[in-house]
Amino acid sequence: MTNSMSEIENNDVIFVIGSNTTETHPIVWLKMKKALNKGAKLIVADPRRINLAKFAHVWLQQKSGTDVALLNAIMHVLFKEGLIDRVFILVRTEGFEEFKKSLEEYTPEYAEKITGVPKEKIIKAALLYGKAQRAGIYYTMGITQHSHGTENVYAIANLSLMTGNLGIESTGVNPLRGQNNVQGSSDMACLPNLYPGYQRVDIPAIREKFENAWDVKLSDKIGLTAPEMIDAALEGKLKAMYIMGENPALSDPDINHTIKALKKLDFLVVQDIFLTETAELADVVIPATCFAEKDGTFTNTERRVQRVRKAVEPPGEAKEDSWIITELSKRLGYDMKYSSIEEVFQEIGKVWQAVVGITYHRIEKQGIQWPCPTLDHPGTPYLFKGGFPRGKAQFIMLKYRPSAELPDENYPFILSTGRQLFQYHTGSMTRRVDAINTVSPEPYIEINPQDANRLGIADEQKIKVSSRRGEIEIKAWISERPDKGVVFIPFHFKEAAANMLTNIALDPFCKIPELKVCAVRIEKLKVKS
């Protein structure tokens, strides 16, 4: 997030696109509710009639994967109506002249054809957002998990730049992070092209800095992203994988493809707290500790580094991940000597300026938001106050590109996948909580009543859903939530894994898979004779 959660309540317009906030980030929703109680207006853009739509002043039901067209049309209206921040554009951005030309063709009429959203609604949303003093945009994987995910994010950035909604309190471009420490894992550079603190591995000066800090020669070759690792394993180029606390055998798109790849590896180590679907394929399984059994820090969606504390002893001989990795490293001839976990955190500060000012002592009571470069720095609730890292922000011209796999005669439905309120990710934790399983016991597919009617499907009837990659049997939940022609399956349930069906198409820039759009067919089950 460029801004903070506590700033949400002072938004006068909240624009939520591609986020089922009440279910996936309930506490962020409470902040939004506070703003609504104070009179803020809510714009929701989502292909499903999610709960949030009930509270929306405008709900835009765009067809899945058409966000660029929708956002371009909103910007088209803003420009036509003069609801742009000319001073901000002049002083803090570049490329607006060419950019505004690129918006010309995205009239609300044109966008209506692509997105299915009536032009009046597009105009209404644009006017609401454009007239706001402090408008914040909030999104999640509904924006990013597309083969044009990066472009979707650029479109959001363009919109906030054009209206000067950046670098000011209670505005911003705010992706809501889905996992407790996904911000931290990125900051710590569990990424193939970066060192900790987003420093590029292919710049020699930076590499030298890390070589000195770690006292070792480092590779100058950019590594493989997770989806590329799977492909490399299938091709036989990748021989071994070490997987710590992840379950790609259920969370990857097209899991048949992933399982085949993992099986092909010469050697697979999985370190986890449960025997996950991925661990079942491993050569060695290593028992690790869960959050309640260790000390350290998590970084939340607003860049706040917060203390995690050990409350209980781990079961059996399970060990902390840090112990396991340092022991292994020692055996491979590289000894990482840390006398405490806090010492690791201090080392991070030595290689990344933005956390130098954060110490365990300072975050004893409440976490601090990076950048925090000095010990007396209070942290940074919102970014870009004084300017952008690259100087002037660049508008990026975008053209709507359809999703990689669109419905056709054989596979006439669009399948979207995602989370629901009660379960979490591949369910290795939540599906072991009895109470949660009572209210969320099994997988289901959300299908529009008109579609169900046409196919003769009854509520709770088991049906077959297939794509070009696989098929599953799953219970139908007839619901007004999805639009006609769209179905939704939560991806938590391995017994009818949504990712048997999903498409492996990747965004060319950041390699995110298109988990939000693929084509499927729905059939009634044949009665067994």
Partner 1 sequence: MINLTIDGKKITVLDSTSVLDAARQNDISIPTLCHHPKLTPFGGCRLCIVEVKGIPRPVTSCTTPVSEGMEVTTTSPYLEDLRKTVLELILSDHPNDCMVCEKAGDCTLQELAYFYGINPPIPPLEKGGRGGIFAGERRVYTKRDGNPFIERAMEKCILCGRCVKVCDEVMGVGAIDFTYRGFKSKICPPYERDLDCVFCGQCVAVCPTGALTGKMWTLKGRQKEIKEVDTICPYCGVGCSITLHVRRNEVIRVSSKDDTINEGWLCVKGRFGYNFINHRDRLTRPLIRIAPKNTKEAQKIRSSEDKTISNSQPLNFSTSHVFREASWDEALDYIAEKLKTIKEKHGPDAIAGLSSARCTNEENYIFQKFMRASIGTNNIDHCARF
Site for partner 1 in 407-436 (CB under 8 A): 421-422, 424, 427-436
Among 90, 91, 203, 240, binds partner 1 (CB under 8 A): 240
Please report whether residue 292 would count as binding partner 1 according to CB under 8 A: yes
- Is the dihedral angle over the CA atoms 430, 431, 437, 442 positive or is it negative? positive
Question: What distance in Å separates the CA atoms of residue 256 and residue 189, rounded to the nearest whole number?
Answer: 28
Least Å from the CB of residue 27 to partner 1: 5
Please report whether residue 8 would count as binding partner 1 according to CB under 8 A: no
Please report whether residue 203 would count as binding partner 1 according to CB under 8 A: no
Nearer to partner 1, 84 or 243 (CB): 243
Angle between helices 149-162 and 67-80 (to 10 degrees): 20
Among 28, 117, 128, 415, binds partner 1 (CB under 8 A): 28
Question: What distance in Å separates the CA atoms of residue 406 and residue 393, rounded to the nearest whole number?
Answer: 34
3-class SS of residue 356: coil
Site for partner 1 in 384-403 (CB under 8 A): none
Site for partner 1 in 175-194 (CB under 8 A): 176-193
Question: What distance in Å separates the CA atoms of residue 494 and residue 500, rounded to the nearest whole number?
Answer: 9
Please report whether residue 306 would count as binding partner 1 according to CB under 8 A: yes
Strand partners, 443: none
* Residues touching partner 1, count (CB under 8 A): 157
Q: Is 489 exposed, middle or buried (0-12, 13-18, 19+ CB in 10 A)?
A: buried
Among 196, 371, 379, 490, binds partner 1 (CB under 8 A): 196
Residue 408 tokens, joined: 């056709």
Identify whether the C-beta of residue 193 lies closer than 8 Å to the C-beta of residue 200.
yes
Least Å from the CB of residue 219 to partner 1: 5
Please report whether residue 27 would count as binding partner 1 according to CB under 8 A: yes
Among 10, 107, 199, 225, binds partner 1 (CB under 8 A): 225
Stretch of residues binding partner 1 (CB under 8 A), selected from 18-26, 71-79, 117-125, 455-463: 18-26
Site for partner 1 in 29-68 (CB under 8 A): 29-30, 33, 36-37, 55
Identify whether the C-beta of residue 374 lies closer than 8 Å to the C-beta of residue 356.
yes
Among 50, 60, 114, 512, binds partner 1 (CB under 8 A): 512
Among 229, 447, 501, 505, binds partner 1 (CB under 8 A): 229
Nearer to partner 1, 131 or 307 (CB): 307
Question: Which value, in Å, is the radius of gyration of the alpha carbons in the chain?
Answer: 24
Count of C-beta atoms within a 10 Å radius of residue 86: 11
Nearer to partner 1, 414 or 504 (CB): 504
ω into residue 513 within 30 of 0, thus cis?
A: no
Least Å from the CB of residue 5 to partner 1: 6
Least Å from the CB of residue 75 to partner 1: 27
| x/- letters, 319..358, toward partner 1 (CB under 8 A) | xxxx-xxxxxx-xxxx-x----x--xx-xx----------
Site for partner 1 in 241-260 (CB under 8 A): 241-246, 248, 251-252
The kind and range of the H/E element at 18 are none
- The two beta strands, 267-272 and 284-287, are parallel
Site for partner 1 in 443-482 (CB under 8 A): none
Among 237, 350, 454, 462, binds partner 1 (CB under 8 A): 237
Per the listing, tokens 């049309």 go with 73
Please report whether residue 169 would count as binding partner 1 according to CB under 8 A: no
Question: What distance in Å separates the CA atoms of residue 285 and residue 307, rounded to the nearest whole number?
Answer: 28
Residue 391 tokens, joined: 């100087």
The amino acid that residue 381 corresponds to is P
The kind and range of the H/E element at 156 are helix 149-162
Question: What distance in Å separates the CA atoms of residue 399 and residue 402, rounded to the nearest whole number?
Answer: 10
Please report whether residue 441 would count as binding partner 1 according to CB under 8 A: yes
Please report whether residue 528 would count as binding partner 1 according to CB under 8 A: no
Please report whether residue 226 would count as binding partner 1 according to CB under 8 A: yes
Among 124, 310, 468, 524, binds partner 1 (CB under 8 A): 310
Among 83, 127, 206, 232, binds partner 1 (CB under 8 A): 232
Q: What stretches of 169-253 show up as alpha helix (H) in DSSP?
A: 182-187, 204-214, 226-235, 248-251
Question: What distance in Å separates the CA atoms of residue 222 and residue 241, rounded to the nearest whole number?
Answer: 17
